[in-house]
Structure 1
Amino acid sequence: MHDLLARTPEAPEALLARLDAAARRIETPCGDGTMVWRMWGEGEPLVLLHGGSGSWRHWVRNVEALAAQRLVVCPDLPGLGESAMPHPAENPGPVAAEVRAGIGQVLGEGTRYDLCGFSFGALLSGHIAAQAGEELRSLTLVGAGALGLPRQVTELVKVRTVEGEARIAAHRHNLASLMFADPAGIDPLALVIQEWNTQHARFRSRGFASTTSLKDAVAKARAPVALLYGERDAIAWPEVELRFVALREVQPEAWTGIIPGAGHWVAYEAAAAFNAMLLDMLARRIGA
């Protein structure tokens, strides 16, 4: 049976539909509409915040493995996926406050949880940590920018004006430039996710990446902090270690980790290694 399954992988649309159907769906206020949340599993809550121009689908290769041990909570962040635009704000703090309020409503005020954010989700997670009290047990940042360091220029192509094969080629180019270390890992599922996310993205987050916004916010965090990158993350390569130094300037006890051979979307490209490292980090920091 295992060999048969290996030869006949689940179609991308069927996999996404199955995970969506298995989730418990909740909506909380967001801007002039609602933020959509999905939850899988039982146990101690682990909140996952996806990246810019993304949705809960950024975690498609993680939710089942993590939900075997934890209550996994994934929102579509404000202005992305199925969630409404946030109230207008000039910095990430108010947007983070809307997400934090949603966490409180979904889990119940005061419920303790662990928070893991990827890329733009890492930025919002840092601001949530700056605002949070004892309910936040730990903060894990994945592929984080906004630490006050320069990054390589990533040349992306616009996809909104092209269709058909040219659109698929544009998605493949952008994933190879920013999200994957090895273009061979860009499979049909990644392309389906990229297309859906692009169609539903309205909130623009890239302007925050070159600031010190995350570093300034995480300096105020009282929960244990960790920072994780894929070894070949396009926003950190070739100076990943400088990101660790920058974090330790404001969080000297921070835990850091690198997953060899992976790029920015490390939770997808190296899912098994990411899942194992995240669970190990949580277990060693908080005894989960």
Structure 2
Amino acid sequence: MDTAQATQLIETFENSARRFETSWGDGRMVWRKWGEGRPVVLLHGGAGSWMHWIRNLGALSARQEVWVPDMPGFGDSDVPFEGKVDADGLAPLVRDGIRELLGDRRFALVGFSFGSLVATAIAAEPPAALDRLVLVSASALGLFQGPAPLQPLRGVTDPEERRRIVRFNLNAMMLHDPSTIDDLAILVQKKSAPRDRIKNRQLARTDYLVRTAPSWTRPAYGIWGRQDYAYRDQFPRLQEVVSGLGLREAAYIDGGHWLPFENPEQFNPLLQRMLDAAD
């Protein structure tokens, strides 16, 4: 996919979405909605926005009502608490937004990466209407092995060099297969990452998910990539820790950290099956 096609795809989804806003104090959170039917809420990852789900929205919205916020401090949404907050601090704002938009309608909650930690915190004190939880590329499992070896963009002005660095960083942290780093991946990163204003997040480096899982009262599922940079060198240990979370199902498919983008052919039907599973 070239840049023109990538731009057109993003614009098509942007223009076809219904846009909503919820608020806290003086702040506002922007939501987008596609499709009709059972509600599912998708939470993006760090340095992301609604566009983290760009390769999943079409398939999911063909079957149900899909709600995607730019979480507070990301994308089009305002920054909460001067940006000094982590996933557990964002969770009440997202939970309140869901209640405002969906009322007592039952919904599924799906979180990717940083969004999975926000979803984890919401599930610990769930709205009555929460039906199920799906975690994608979830961290905070007590397995942190250090940051990915990223190259800095600060001070780089040459467009081609900036593009090379973005490709390198996506391959180092987000996408395992270099052939999947197309113009769409680069454009989503370029549009989303500069608008991440929630800095110094630390929760992903802890065992927060392991400690929180026993408090979940709703069915929970998980999906991880076999080549995720965070776990590929300790994959058996990942499986061991995940087996203790009490999930209804834990699935492992080929791909890196940004699994919904890298392998939508496997991810989309797998997620749909988890959303459709009986309670």
Q: Tell me the TM-score normalised to structure 1 length.
A: 0.90
Please say if 1:145 is aligned against 2:142: no
| CA root-mean-square deviation | 2.0
Corresponding residue to 2:67 among 69, 73, 88:
73
Corresponding residue to 2:128 among 134, 142, 148:
134
Corresponding residue to 1:183 among 173, 178, 182:
178
Corresponding residue to 1:225 among 220, 224, 236:
220
Counterpart CA distance in 2 for 1:137 and 1:178 is 31
Q: Give 1:9 deviation, angstroms.
A: 9.7
Counterpart contact for 1:95–1:124, Cα < 8 Å: yes
Counterpart for residue 25 of structure 1: 19
Counterpart CA distance in 1 for 2:85 and 2:187 is 32
- For 1:269, the aligned partner's letter is E
Q: Give 1:199 deviation, angstroms.
A: 2.2
- For 2:41, the aligned partner's letter is V
Counterpart for residue 269 of structure 1: 262
Deviations 1:2-28 (A, max 9, x none): xxxxx9997111111110010010001
Deviations 1:98-130 (A, max 9, x none): 11101111112x221001100000010000100
Which runs of structure 2 are paired with 1:142-221 in the superposition (5 Å)?
142-151=136-145, 153-163=147-157, 164-204=159-199, 206-221=201-216
Mark the runs of 5 or more structure 1 residues left unpaired by the alignment. Answer: 1-6
Structure 1 stretch 7-16 or stretch 170-179: which is displaced more?
7-16
Counterpart CA distance in 1 for 2:38 and 2:28 is 25
Deviations 1:3-62 (A, max 9, x none): xxxx99971111111100100100011463211000100011111000001000000000
Q: Give 1:135 deviation, angstroms.
A: 1.1
Counterpart for residue 101 of structure 1: 96
Mark the runs of 5 or more structure 2 residues left unpaired by the alignment. Answer: none
Structure 1 stretch 88-97 or stretch 215-224: which is displaced more?
88-97
- For 2:23, the aligned partner's letter is P
Counterpart contact for 2:2–2:183, Cα < 8 Å: no
Counterpart contact for 1:32–1:87, Cα < 8 Å: no
158 and 27 in structure 1: CA distance in 2 versus 1, 3 angstrom threshold:
same
Counterpart contact for 2:2–2:184, Cα < 8 Å: no
Deviations 1:243-281 (A, max 9, x none): 3432343x3343100112x11111001012110000112
Counterpart CA distance in 2 for 1:166 and 1:202 is 24
Counterpart for residue 276 of structure 2: 283
- For 1:277, the aligned partner's letter is L
Counterpart contact for 2:95–2:127, Cα < 8 Å: no
Aligned sequence identity (%): 37
Deviations 1:60-88 (A, max 9, x none): 00001100001011000110101111236
Corresponding residue to 1:15 among 6, 9, 33:
9
Q: Give 1:151 deviation, angstroms.
A: 2.5
Deviations 1:187-212 (A, max 9, x none): 00111111011221111264222112
Please say if 1:111 is aligned against 2:105: yes
Does the residue aligned with 2:205 lie in a helix, a strand or coil? coil
Counterpart CA distance in 2 for 1:273 and 1:152 is 28
Counterpart contact for 1:31–1:85, Cα < 8 Å: no
Counterpart contact for 2:39–2:65, Cα < 8 Å: yes
Q: Tell me the TM-score normalised to structure 2 length.
A: 0.93
Counterpart CA distance in 1 for 2:5 and 2:24 is 33
Counterpart CA distance in 1 for 2:25 and 2:259 is 31
Does the residue aligned with 1:11 lie in a helix, a strand or coil? helix
Q: Report the count of equivalent residues.
A: 277
232 and 8 in structure 1: CA distance in 2 versus 1, 3 angstrom threshold:
closer
